[in-house]
């Protein structure tokens, strides 16, 4: 058990005991707050708003694909819809998702601290995020962009849609990402509570730490790449456009040098969440703590060396392709270790099948399929057939949507009582999870089948032989949307009618559960000392061998 020590300045006490939600009032007190919890909540609201926009764009795409012929959109409109979906989901939702919202809120709390190392930088990163989002919103209003979220050249250097403002958006959002990364790295290195060694850190923090390393190292590369593309478009200096003497394949190298590591920015924090939830709700110590922690860092580093597996058919050299294929399997091993460890954690536990655990199990189910189908794509000869088909689309939705977002939703449910001080309706939550899980698998499993049979991605029209699979996928997408709206509904209702949450409703051992729900403005009264591991639950029977 931990204890609190330290003196309080007299007369300061009232500040410390007010909830962070009510300590100060007014819109400005939120928009210009330096409190990491409020910044985390603002990020959460912003990210979920963009998730709604990106999701509606996906529904538009799926609705169009219900029949082989063009129904709702022309080719050019359809291309704008899928670009909005991809760009919003990647740059405004998946990249910031868990670290910027749950990470901002819980990183200092789990470290037993009052805030991150640089609270002003943290606020700046949120403001930059909003600025970047405004660029993307402007892009939408000014007619949209139809390059796909990948901005491949020379299409993006020659088309006359609003490419520059979209690039400015992604460019700007990168800085927000870098600032958050720096902040988290410094905070984890320098500001752990007394007694909290690296090996006593909750695994969520290890996941966030590995993520931050990638954000700081990889994001500058995409910034430079997007800048060069803007430069080429504006001044017609040949960099990527072959008509000007540039090399379009070079753009792909630069692009994936960032965009491959960034998929680990998206998934590593979800790994962190699952490590917490699977252990806490199984009432058992995590299986193989060091293996999970080290594999996060290993994935972060190996992840920098595999970008060329996006380019097996791009015309890069056969030797490069071979090396990239081999290294790619090097990422598969640490990922497999994690999955085995999570399942191993459940062994001998006392598993509570609440909504958090259901989302955790859903994550494991979906992520395992996502990981296993990735193996086909890492194998050179099979990827030649699968590349740029719906098989790839299905694979990355299993990993990104089914992995990252299931982890995100599990995390939101796990920490909702702490963030809001309210409990949600558990029955509705379980029902919502079931609908989301069913809808998700119906939407994307069908895409594996049509992809393997040759259905290319980014097609506005398609051959009638694929219609059955497209229709099932579209029905799945609307089911998934219904599940997500149910989830949003009971979460919002809980703010009004929810039962009051206790300090530690799950019996967890990490430090964020030692303060009030919702936390007081300064997180803790006095300095928290960490004298136990994050997974040393009361139920563990040490007398058993």
Partner 1 sequence: MTLASLLPFLAASEARAEGTFWMPEQASTFAEEVDWIYYFIYWIDVLFFFLVIGAMVYFAIRYRAKTGKERTSPLKGSHSLELAWSAIPGLILLSFFWFGFQTYMDMQVPPKDALNIRVTGQKWNWSFEYPDYGIRQGGDQGLVVPSGQPVMLTMSSVDVLHSFYIPDFRVKKDVVPNRYSTIWFEAKGTGDHQVFCTEYCGDDHSRMLTKVHVMEPAKFREWVRDNKADDGPVDGQSLFSSMGCIGCHSIDGSKLVGPSLKGKYGTDEQLTDGSTVAIDDNYIRESIMVPGAKVVAGYAPQMPPYQGRLNDEEVNALIDYIKTLK
Q: What residues from 307 to 326 belong to the interface with partner 1 (CB under 8 A)?
A: 313-315, 318, 321-322, 325-326
Helix axes 163-190, 203-235, angle to 10 degrees: 150
Which parts of 362-381 interact with partner 1 (CB under 8 A)?
Answer: 364-365, 368-369, 372-373, 375-376, 378-381
Q: CA-CA distance, 476 to 441, in Å (whole number)?
A: 7
Mode of pairing for the β-strands spanning 527-528 and 4-5: antiparallel
Instruction: Tell me the closest approach of the beta carbon of residue 129 to partner 1, in angstroms.
Output: 28
Q: Measured between alpha carbons, how far is 155 from 373 in angstroms, rounded to an integer?
A: 30
Among 35, 115, 146, 276, binds partner 1 (CB under 8 A): 146
Q: Which of 119, 148, 220, 505 binds partner 1 (CB under 8 A)?
A: 148
Task: Decide: 395 and 377 in contact? Cβ < 8 Å.
Answer: yes
The 280-299 contact track toward partner 1, x by CB under 8 A, reads --xxxxxxxxxx--------
For partner 1, the closer of residues 124 and 244 by Cβ is 244
Question: Measured from the CB of residue 288, what is the shortest distance to partner 1 in angstroms?
Answer: 4
Cβ-proximal residues to 204 (8 Å cutoff; 6+ apart), any chain: 106, 110, 269, 272, 273, 275, 276
Closest distance of CB 85 from partner 1, Å: 14
165-204 residues near partner 1, rule: CB under 8 A:
none
Residues between 389 and 448 with contacts to partner 1, criterion CB under 8 A: 389
Q: Contact, 411 vs 508, CB < 8 A?
A: no
For residue 505, give the 3-state DSSP assignment: coil
Query: At 59, is the secondary structure helix, strand, or coil?
Result: helix
How many of the other CB atoms lie within 10 Å of CB of 244? 15
CB 367 within 8 A of CB 405: no
User: Binding of partner 1 at residue 145 (CB under 8 A)?
Assistant: no
When binding is defined by CB under 8 A, the residue of 191, 351, 423, 529 that contacts partner 1 is 351
Give the residue, chosen from 124, 332, 423, 482, that forms a contact with partner 1 under the rule CB under 8 A. Answer: 332
Nearest to 100 by CA among 39, 162, 156, 142: 39
Residue 353 binds to partner 1 (criterion: CB under 8 A): yes
Contact between 471 and partner 1 per CB under 8 A: yes
Residues of this chain, 94-133, that bind partner 1 according to CB under 8 A: none
Query: What tokens were used for 234?
Result: 């504006």
Contacts (CB under 8 A) with partner 1, residues 217-276: 242-243, 248-249
The residue among 1 and 381 lying less far from partner 1, judged by its C-beta, is 381
Residues 506-545 binding partner 1 (CB under 8 A) are 537, 539-542, 544
User: Which of these ranges, 13-21, 169-177, 329-337, 399-407, lies near partner 1 under the rule CB under 8 A?
Assistant: 329-337
Q: Build a one-symbol-per-residue string for 5-24: x at contacts with partner 1 by CB under 8 A, - elsewhere.
A: --------------------
The three-point CA angle 410-416-422 to 5° equals 145
Q: Compute φ and ψ for 526, nearest 5 degrees.
A: 75, -170
Residues 268 and 203: beta-carbon distance below 8 Å: no
- Among residues 44, 14, 173, the alpha carbon closest in space to that of 106 is found at 44
Considering the rule CB under 8 A, would residue 449 count as an interface residue with partner 1? yes
**Cα–Cα dist 374/113, whole Å:** 39
Q: Counting contacts by CB under 8 A, is residue 306 touching partner 1? A: no
Q: Which of 459, 520, 525, 532 binds partner 1 (CB under 8 A)?
A: 459
H-run or E-run covering 295: helix 289-302
Return the residue of 125, 162, 180, 341 that touches partner 1, per CB under 8 A: 341
- For residue 92, the minimal CB distance to partner 1 (Å) is 21
Nearest-CA neighbor of 42 among 122, 115, 112, 114?
Answer: 122
With contacts defined by CB under 8 A, name the span among 256-264, 267-275, 456-464, 477-485 that binds partner 1.
Answer: 456-464
């Amino acid at each position: 058990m931990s204890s609190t020590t330290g003196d309080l300045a007299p007369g300061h006490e009232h500040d410390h005991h007010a909830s962070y939600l009510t300590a100060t009032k007014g819109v400005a007190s939120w928009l210009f707050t330096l409190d990491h919890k409020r910044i985390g909540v603002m990020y959460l609201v912003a990210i979920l708003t963009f998730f709604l926009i990106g999701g509606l764009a996906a529904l538009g795409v799926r609705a169009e694909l219900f029949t082989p012929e063009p129904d709702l959109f022309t080719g050019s409109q359809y291309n704008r819809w899928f670009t909005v979906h991809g760009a919003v989901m990647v740059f405004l939702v998946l990249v910031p998702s868990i670290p910027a919202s749950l990470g901002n809120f819980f990183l200092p709390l789990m470290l037993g601290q009052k805030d991150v190392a640089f609270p002003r930088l943290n606020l700046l990163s949120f403001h930059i995020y909003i600025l970047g989002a405004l660029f993307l919103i402007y892009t939408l209003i000014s007619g949209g962009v139809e390059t796909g979220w990948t901005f491949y050249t020379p299409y993006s250097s020659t088309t006359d849609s609003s490419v520059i403002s979209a690039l400015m958006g992604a460019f700007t959002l990168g800085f927000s990402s870098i600032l958050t990364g720096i902040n988290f790295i410094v905070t984890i290195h320098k500001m752990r509570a007394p007694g909290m060694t690296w090996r006593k850190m909750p695994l969520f923090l290890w996941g966030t730490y590995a993520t931050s390393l990638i954000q700081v190292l990889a994001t500058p590369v995409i910034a430079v790449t997007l800048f060069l593309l803007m430069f080429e478009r504006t001044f017609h200096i040949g960099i990527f456009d072959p008509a000007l003497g540039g090399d379009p394949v070079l753009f792909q190298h630069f692009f994936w040098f960032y965009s491959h590591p960034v998929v680990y920015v998206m998934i590593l924090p979800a790994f962190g969440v699952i490590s917490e939830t699977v252990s806490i709700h199984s009432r058992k110590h995590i299986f193989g703590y060091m293996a999970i922690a080290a594999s996060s860092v290993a994935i972060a580093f190996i992840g920098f060396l595999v970008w060329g597996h996006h380019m097996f058919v791009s015309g890069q050299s056969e030797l490069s392709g071979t090396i990239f294929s081999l290294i790619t399997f090097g990422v598969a091993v640490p990922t497999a270790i994690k999955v085995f460890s999570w399942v191993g954690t459940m062994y001998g536990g006392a598993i509570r099948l609440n909504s958090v655990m259901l989302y955790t199990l859903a994550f494991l189910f979906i992520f395992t399929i996502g990981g296993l189908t990735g193996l086909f794509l890492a194998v050179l000869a099979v990827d030649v057939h699968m590349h740029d088909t719906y098989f790839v689309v299905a694979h990355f939705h299993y990993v990104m949507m089914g992995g990252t977002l299931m982890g995100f939703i599990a995390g939101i449910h796990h920490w909702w009582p702490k963030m809001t001080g309210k409990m949600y309706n558990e029955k509705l939550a379980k029902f919502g999870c079931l609908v989301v899980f069913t809808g998700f698998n119906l939407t994307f499993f069908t895409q594996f089948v049509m992809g393997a049979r040759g259905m290319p991605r980014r097609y506005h029209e398609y051959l009638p032989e694929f219609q059955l699979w497209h229709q099932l996928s579209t029905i799945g997408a609307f089911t998934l949307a219904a599940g997500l709206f149910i989830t949003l509904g009971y979460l919002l209702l809980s703010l009004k009618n929810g039962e009051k949450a206790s300090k530690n409703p799950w019996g967890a051992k990490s430090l964020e559960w030692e303060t009030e729900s919702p936390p007081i403005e300064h997180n803790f009264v006095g300095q928290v000392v960490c004298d136990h591991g994050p997974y040393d639950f009361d139920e563990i029977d040490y007398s058993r061998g």
